[in-house]
Amino acid sequence: MLIAVAGPYSAPTEEQMKANLKAMNIAAAEVYRKGHIPVIGVNASLFVADELPGIESKKVISDISFAIVERCDAILIIGSSPGADIERDLIKDQGLPVYYSVDEIPEEK
């Protein structure tokens, strides 16, 4: 399965934002170990947002992240945030699995 990994990214400090992204990447590595392909919308969007200084970065990040999630087969939520909650709902509205722990994700055979 193509599994989105979502959680909080925005934070009051750069250090906390990096820690939030690292937590998503660690979870994505666990998803991969289970035999699935993980994707993190924030990872895919950050460098694009950096190249668009005239456009609000939150908009770029959200637009790209939500578009990616809509193409996934499931989502792993590692924490709540406004963006992660929208991503969860995008998957839920399609009737696809929403996981809250890596342990809930079946191993790919």
CA angle, residues 38, 31, 96, in degrees to nearest 5: 70
pLDDT of residue 77: 98
pLDDT of residue 88: 97
Give pTM, 2 decimals: 0.93
* CATH architecture of the domain with range 2-104: 3-Layer(aba) Sandwich (3.40)
Render each residue's pLDDT in the chain as its tens digit; 109 residues.
Answer: 999 999 999 899 999 999 999 999 999 999 999 999 999 999 999 999 999 998 999 999 999 999 999 999 999 999 999 999 999 999 999 999 999 999 999 999 7
Name which of 68, 75, 69 is nearest 99 in CA terms.
75
Q: Write 17-21 long-range contacts (CB < 8 A, 24+).
A: 20/79
